[in-house]
Amino acid sequence: MKEKYDLIVCGGGFAGTAAAIAAARSGIDVLLIDKSGFLSGTAGNCLINPFMPFYTDINGSKTDLSAGLFSEILSKLTALGGLHKNGLTFNLELLKLVLDRMARESGVTVLFHTYITGLGKEDRYIRSISTINKSGAGSFAADIFIDATGDADIAAMAGCPFQLGREGDNLCQPMTLCFDIAGVDVDKVFSTNPQINEAYRKLQSEGKIQNPREDVLYMRHMYKDILHVNSTRIIRKCPIDAEDVSAAESEAREQVFELFSFLKENCEGFENSVLLSSGPEIGIRESRMIEGLYKLNEDDLKSCTKFYDGIAASNYEIDIHNPDGSGTSHYYFAPGTYYTIPYRCLVPKGTDNLLVAGRCISGTHEAQASFRIMPVCCSTGEAAGCAAALAFANKCSVSGINTAKLRDILKKRGAFI
């Protein structure tokens, strides 16, 4: 492999993959690094499925707010039979294949099973990153970097300021380990939803269920006899502390078994069920958010603000799972309304050649609860990739690009902004 690239993207989830593809299609040389053996990030690592709603009704027409590259991904999934008729549930293995093909066809160099251990920085410029993998220790240089790690790992290594969790106590939204149950009469389960949650709350009140979540949340799978469950809840643990995350993984597996046992022993449709699998990693909703040139806040979202430098759009609910325990709060946007995310939220303070994409962009605890979903991460990633290519072409800092030009590029690529 080469030692120097125009752009290095750290993290191969929706944000990082979109960033790498968008930049490579703009003609620059891109290296994409991920710790796993596939692209898709939390979809593959944490079994996050389905996509949360990314559309709204505008003038009587369904409009995708996460368009551009995300629309292309959905189209390719559909062509392979990998997207459910509901338009949200997807076949994970086919998603990995689609992303592999798109990255390869765009000319992205992908390096799997690689961890980033440090970086070299001069003044306000990152010059290189250090890595470790099966080949040993390595180092790669670039002109521009994109942090799509989800946890803002690169920004933190570079000394950029960040916020952890909510203001005041730094508690983050709970971690969740998703899992699948096979041999389920799924249609019966959905028809008996009230009884399931009534039984769950009764046993919880009797101290027979330890999970603090207030209800059982489950979704359809691509296969009709499998139920996808997103209902474990690990609270008051720090997602960027290795000891806490290790304890969270173990505790979550106990909750998985507790939930499965409850469903099989108490609920119709689970009589012949078996516990199939859980995610390879626990899912993290929130951790670090960078301090960017602008911090998106709850008022911006509720006011449906359209920023002059808007690069992505969303109207996904402000969906806050209580960091302390039970309860989930929701703020829903009216049909036809949406907000945009300003490019400035992707530009961290303290560096001139680093962009951030995905759930760790600059925002408050409340705002992040809306923009953290995979479709929106894909849109911020595409914007970061196009912006990196602009900065490289113009030999300027990432904060110095022409955002009107960036918006024009994104619109020509199909983005809704």
pLDDT digits (tens, 9 = 90+) for 210-236: 999 999 999 999 999 999 999 999 999
What digits encode the pLDDT tens for the residues 77-108? 999 999 999 999 999 999 999 999 999 999 99
Reported confidence tier of residue 193, pLDDT bands at 50, 70, 90: confident
What does the alpha-carbon distance between residue 34 and residue 42 come to, in Å, rounded to a whole number?
A: 12
CATH architecture classification, 179-278? 2-Layer Sandwich (3.30)
Reported confidence tier of residue 31, pLDDT bands at 50, 70, 90: very high
Please give the CATH number for the structural domain made up of 4-167+286-412: 3.50.50.60
Per-residue pLDDT, averaged over 369-389, amounts to 98
Per-residue pLDDT, averaged over 283-290, amounts to 98
What does the alpha-carbon distance between residue 352 and residue 293 come to, in Å, rounded to a whole number?
A: 12
pTM above 0.95, yes or no: yes
Per-residue pLDDT, averaged over 267-281, amounts to 98
List, by residue range, all CATH 3.30.70 domains of the chain.
179-278
Residue 21 has what pLDDT? 99
Residues 6+ apart with CB under 8 A from 91: 77, 80, 81, 82, 83, 222
Per-residue pLDDT, averaged over 22-49, amounts to 98
What does the alpha-carbon distance between residue 22 and residue 108 come to, in Å, rounded to a whole number?
A: 10
Of all residues in the chain, the percent with pLDDT exceeding 70 is: 100
Residue 81 has what pLDDT? 98
Report which of residues 193 and 146 the model is more confident about.
146
Write b or e for each residue in 312-334: b if 16 or more Cβ atoms lie within 10 A of its Cβ, otherwise e: bbbbbbbbbbbbeeeebeeeebe
The one-letter amino acid at 158: A
Are 402 and 362 spatial neighbours (Cβ–Cβ below 8 Å)? no
Please state, rounded to an integer, the average pLDDT across all residues of the chain: 98
Rounded to 5 degrees, what are φ and ψ at 402? -85, 105
Helix (H) or strand (E) holding 208, with range, is: none
List, by residue range, all CATH 3.50.50.60 domains of the chain.
4-167+286-412
Is the torsion defined by CA of 323, 117, 373, 258 positive or negative?
Answer: negative
Checking if the pLDDT of 11 tops 90, the result is yes
Are 7 and 145 spatial neighbours (Cβ–Cβ below 8 Å)? yes
The one-letter amino acid at 45: N
Checking if the pLDDT of 180 tops 90, the result is yes
